[in-house]
Amino acid sequence: SQQGEEDPQALSIQEGENATMNCSYKTSINNLQWYRQNSGRGLVHLILIRSNEREKHSGRLRVTLDTSKKSSSLLITASRAADTASYFCAVLHAGGTSYGKLTFGQGTILTVHP
Amino acid sequence: DAGITQSPRYKITETGRQVTLMCHQTWSHSYMFWYRQDLGHGLRLIYYSAAADITDKGEVPDGYVVSRSKTENFPLTLESATRSQTSVYFCASNPRDRAYEQYFGPGTRLTVT
């Protein structure tokens, strides 16, 4: 079954507002990653947070990780129309192989209205 | 051009035909992956490879075959295509030393009629 479960499935906001997406998973992880996918394109890596980290920032992105609740949040501040995309969380299982296999969630579709 | 490319970008084929999707990366990344993306299922791993001549099954390998004779190429073959294999296929790679961040190709949209 899918490890990363995302919430909400779709989010519609106005430009300038903040967007928050949540991801939950079931088993222990090595790290959790967030990817963006623009329509008709491949996924692009945004940010990675390790299991021993609680918060990470990259530009307008802020990711938090709560391993006790097995959940993560991605916050996009001051959103822009160009942020319109699908966002996926992906987990790397703890104690797994060294192949770097990721398990992806079903994604959150973010629409930012100008 | 540098990066990861997939070909063809679009393919329509008939049930029962053999189809090969190509993936080529210019970074000499060790690890390569094939995913399929379907509505309601997100991305699911089909096969992966840690190096040339080393491949292993992912979550949904049935009906697919892979090979990796060269580090830069990782073709995916549907031996006898079925309608359930209609999907968007993504190839990805990652270098051994980048903490498993993956780089994705642009995808191949496959329709099996």
What count of residues does chain A have? 114
Put simply, whether A45 touches B (Cβ < 8 Å) is: yes
Containing structural domain, residue A64 = 5-113
The domain total for chain A is: 1
Per-residue pLDDT reduced to its tens digit, A42-53: 999 999 999 999
Put simply, whether B92 touches A (Cβ < 8 Å) is: yes
What is the pLDDT, as a whole number, of residue A1? 42
- The CA distance from B47 to B74, in Å, is 10
Q: A66 has which bridge partners?
A: A71
The domain total for chain B is: 1
Return all residues near B60 (Cβ < 8 A) that are at least 6 apart: B36, B44, B45, B46
With cut-offs at 50, 70 and 90, classify the pLDDT of residue A2. very low
Return all residues near A85 (Cβ < 8 A) that are at least 6 apart: A36, A37, A38, A39, A110
pLDDT under 70: residue ranges of chain B = 1-2, 97-99
Inter-chain touch B45–A102, beta carbons under 8 Å: yes
State the CATH number of the domain containing residue B10: 2.60.40.10
Q: Average pLDDT in the A77-102 region?
A: 84
Looking at per-residue pLDDT, the higher value among A102 and A20 belongs to: A20
Containing structural domain, residue B68 = 4-112
For B59, the token pair is 């979550």
Contacts of A40 in chain B (CB under 8 A): 107
Looking at per-residue pLDDT, the higher value among A40 and A54 belongs to: A54
Per-residue pLDDT reduced to its tens digit, A45-89: 999 999 999 999 999 999 999 999 999 999 999 999 999 999 999
Q: Average pLDDT in the A9-23 region?
A: 96
Taking every pair of Cα atoms in chain B, the longest distance, rounded to a whole number of angstroms, is: 42
Beta carbons of A25 and A5 less than 8 angstroms apart? yes
State the CATH number of the domain containing residue A71: 2.60.40.10
Put simply, whether A100 touches B (Cβ < 8 Å) is: yes
Put simply, whether B99 touches A (Cβ < 8 Å) is: yes
